[in-house]
Structure 1
Amino acid sequence: MSKNLPIRILQVGMTKNIGGLETYLMQQFAHLDKTKVTYDFVNITSEDEIVFKDKILQAGSHIYGVRSRHSNPIRHYWQWITLLHHIAKNYKGIVLNSNSITYVFPIFIARFFGIPMRIMHSHNSSFEQRIGFAKKVIMKMNRFLLKWGATNYFACSQLAGKWMFGEKTPFTVIPNAIDCSKFCFDSEIRNEMRKSLHIEDKFVVGHVGRFTYQKNHGFLIDVFNEIHKINPKAVLLLIGDAVGNMSYYEKAKQKVQQYGLTGCVQFLGMRNDVPLLMQAMDCFVLPSRFEGLPVVGIEAQAAGLPCFFSDTITREVGLTELAHFVSLKDSSEDWAKKITVAHTVNRKEAVNQVKAAGYEIESVAQKVQDFYLT
């Protein structure tokens, strides 16, 4: 491999959806000194374009395409082999960003083609679906392949690392850092956003998350129904899209209709202005069944919002006194009572607390960059 700078790292795991993993990667990518280290990306579901494609290409980076292994497994693996045969010599490292250990082929093949730094990065702490016998066998085999293929292990939290790699495997926690300046509270932006959404005089409950089993939208809507009983001026902003399976989105829509809350719940879809939308909110609710370390939880605290997380989410997300953890065993009424009495005094101060906790993107990007340069 050429010793000339910049060092190039292959990043795998970006999808068509703006989720926590994608946001994490782009935040880091944007704050690298690209004269020293830069990223290229492999889209492993090339039937669809990955998010932030234009920004990646404008920065002078490459996006390589590999067919989805679900639609055509033979083509998928062959394209990986062909791709690395041509480009492996140009890369010091490859990072597989993943929510599970059911797929580790890029790490395995990268060792075969001599990429010196091979990193598995855990972004979650449980499975989206039930794991049957076949997948358990695959996972056991993949753990063996990782021991042979991976040189380093990263995780977004202690919980995510121990879940994916086990108690005995050493790993490095890379904080899901954010650009804090984008979330610092601004009353003018708040007023503008609330006006544009026609919620000027409302109590605004916010949520950011794709419509999946993990995010637990059904319970969220149950909670909001109880909030609305307490405060009829309450509205709920749901930011996020369905991913492949539309059933969770449709069930959420149906539940909103059943409660008679259609005029009080806004389905905003996938948005690229989440920092602005958070200015308009009065609180943030994330009752997920599991998470690695949710980026949106860090963002919401930086925006000065009282945050209500399920107790299944790692306490590592609790960077400020704005973070409240509530059991999923508690009733929706209990959640609603806690949410409606919460308040924050100085929203502008919260961003400094997030920075002090080590979640400012500039410092984290520098640490990661230094790691690649060693």
Structure 2
Amino acid sequence: MDKKKPVYVLQIGMTKNIGGLETYLMQQFEHINNNIVRYDFVNITGEYDIVFSDKIKQAGSSIYNICSRHKNPILHYYQWIKLLNKYKNRYKAIVLNANSLEYVFPVFIAKFFGIKMRVIHSHNAGFENKIGICRKILIGFNKLLLNFSATHYLACSQKAGKWMFGNNKNFALVHNAINVDAYKYDLEKRQKMRKNLNLENKFVIGHVGRFVYQKNHKFLIDIFNEIHKILPEAMLLLIGDAVEDKSYLNEAKQKVKELNLEEYVSFLGMRNDVPEIMQAMDCFILPSRFEGLPLVGIEAQTSGLWCYFSDVITNEIRITDLTNFISLNNSPEIWAKKIIKNKNYKRRDVSKEIIKAGYDIDAEIKKVQNFYERECIQ
């Protein structure tokens, strides 16, 4: 009997920066059974390598580079057509992981090349850029294209699905699952990392996120400033980097300088040891202006951290009793007082709660595999 071939899936959405979307895709990629489902990737900004490209290639998967549509739109669309024409018989599914509906061309064109499963997956619940009349018209037009071409709608949360697709569109939820064992609370790892980062006897506040409008870093620094006035031993760790626009990173650094906090705020950049650094933290703050369902919020909870989220973030992130939601309309002083109030909580292992809620990658990946197998049956 011939060995059953895996379902080949073409994934779009990876960029050169490590963000929630990239981490989500890599979690799946590293845990999926390649004998059942195999992921390949399209880099739609081919001038740069996508993150994790070495790992992807070492695992035997392909990355196809396509010229950025902003640099050369004609070449971009031509390369898409050429790519799908060449590999139309290889891929049973194509998945566009999106933060908005300003770009849906891969799903649309895949219909004409007979790719059976054409998926749009929402990972966000707000706009990074200002939306003028032209963008609104574009998004409306793209929704019509998806009605014609998309076979499946997915979302990381109810809020992300309704925001992107509308209240009347049916979509399926796919949990932003993580490797729970990598993040669960470990006292030995905590002590080691705090020593390595010179954080012993400090109250350590953490944040993980790109320096963009969405993440609201200036407000976060205002909150920390109020905490530091009361707790001089407080430290702020900022993990992440700028994307292409460095203005938000520069603004954050300037604000830290103006508040004379340079000795107490660490800009750690992109890190490969986020699970270990989370062990060193004492609490986690995410005052975002909008989110889909932030993967980092699940990671922080799994680490046993007391978490403070802005109230615009979906309540679906409330997996444990470590979550607190505070309005962005409240002053930094109010945020600071609530954070300090809980600073002496007893850290504990909540990994069983995370697994029970369905956010363990080993359990979730089986559902994903079954989804592709079931939907791609000839």
Shorter-chain TM-score range: over 0.9
In the alignment, the residues of structure 2 paired with residue 205 and residue 306 of structure 1 have an alpha-carbon distance, to the nearest angstrom, of 10
- 1:24 aligns to 2:24 (yes or no): yes
User: Given that residues 303 and 349 in structure 2 are in contact (C-alpha distance below 8 angstroms), is that contact kept between their aligned partners in structure 1?
Assistant: no
CA shift for structure 1 position 348? 3.8
Aligned to 1:155: 155
Give secondary structure in 2 for the equivalent of 1:140. Answer: helix
In the alignment, the residues of structure 2 paired with residue 342 and residue 52 of structure 1 have an alpha-carbon distance, to the nearest angstrom, of 37
Which letter maps to 2:232?
P
CA shift for structure 1 position 349? 2.5
Aligned to 1:55: 55
The 5 Å alignment of 1:290-369 reads 290-343=290-343, 347-369=347-369
The 5 Å alignment of 1:85-100 reads 85-100=85-100
In the alignment, the residues of structure 2 paired with residue 346 and residue 90 of structure 1 have an alpha-carbon distance, to the nearest angstrom, of 52
In the alignment, the residues of structure 1 paired with residue 199 and residue 162 of structure 2 have an alpha-carbon distance, to the nearest angstrom, of 42
User: Given that residues 322 and 344 in structure 1 are in contact (C-alpha distance below 8 angstroms), is that contact kept between their aligned partners in structure 2?
Assistant: no
In the alignment, the residues of structure 2 paired with residue 53 and residue 320 of structure 1 have an alpha-carbon distance, to the nearest angstrom, of 34
User: Given that residues 291 and 313 in structure 2 are in contact (C-alpha distance below 8 angstroms), is that contact kept between their aligned partners in structure 1?
Assistant: yes
RMSD (Å), alpha carbons: 1.2
CA shift for structure 1 position 344? 6.9
Give secondary structure in 2 for the equivalent of 1:347. Answer: coil
Which letter maps to 1:166?
G
Give secondary structure in 1 for the equivalent of 2:289. Answer: coil
Unpaired stretches in structure 2, ≥5 consecutive residues: none
**CA deviation profile, 1:94-121 (whole Å, cap 9, x unmatched):** 0000000000000001101110000000
Q: After alignment, is 184-193 or 306-315 more displaced?
A: 184-193
**CA deviation profile, 1:195-217 (whole Å, cap 9, x unmatched):** 11111111000000000000000
Structure 1 263/183 Cα, relative in aligned 2: closer, same or farther at 3 Å? Answer: same
**CA deviation profile, 1:313-350 (whole Å, cap 9, x unmatched):** 00001100000000000000000011111147553421
Query: What's the TM-score, normalizing by structure 1?
Result: 0.98
Aligned to 1:201: 201
- 1:182 aligns to 2:169 (yes or no): no
- 1:68 aligns to 2:68 (yes or no): yes
Aligned to 2:223: 223
In the alignment, the residues of structure 1 paired with residue 50 and residue 59 of structure 2 have an alpha-carbon distance, to the nearest angstrom, of 15
Aligned to 2:138: 138
Query: What's the TM-score, normalizing by structure 2?
Result: 0.97
Which letter maps to 1:56?
I
Unpaired stretches in structure 1, ≥5 consecutive residues: none
Structure 1 209/12 Cα, relative in aligned 2: closer, same or farther at 3 Å? Answer: same
In the alignment, the residues of structure 2 paired with residue 40 and residue 286 of structure 1 have an alpha-carbon distance, to the nearest angstrom, of 32
Which letter maps to 1:212?
V
Which letter maps to 2:252?
A
User: Given that residues 211 and 217 in structure 2 are in contact (C-alpha distance below 8 angstroms), is that contact kept between their aligned partners in structure 1?
Assistant: yes
**CA deviation profile, 1:71-103 (whole Å, cap 9, x unmatched):** 111111110000101012101100000000000
In the alignment, the residues of structure 1 paired with residue 18 and residue 344 of structure 2 have an alpha-carbon distance, to the nearest angstrom, of 28
Aligned residues: 373
Aligned to 1:246: 246
In the alignment, the residues of structure 2 paired with residue 178 and residue 185 of structure 1 have an alpha-carbon distance, to the nearest angstrom, of 14
**CA deviation profile, 1:255-307 (whole Å, cap 9, x unmatched):** 00111000000000011111010000000000000000000000000000000
CA shift for structure 1 position 3? 9.8
Q: Which runs of 4+ in 1 moved over 4 A?
A: 343-346
Structure 1 86/4 Cα, relative in aligned 2: closer, same or farther at 3 Å? Answer: farther
- 1:275 aligns to 2:275 (yes or no): yes
In the alignment, the residues of structure 1 paired with residue 346 and residue 39 of structure 2 have an alpha-carbon distance, to the nearest angstrom, of 38
User: Given that residues 282 and 305 in structure 1 are in contact (C-alpha distance below 8 angstroms), is that contact kept between their aligned partners in structure 2?
Assistant: yes
Give secondary structure in 2 for the equivalent of 1:349. Answer: coil
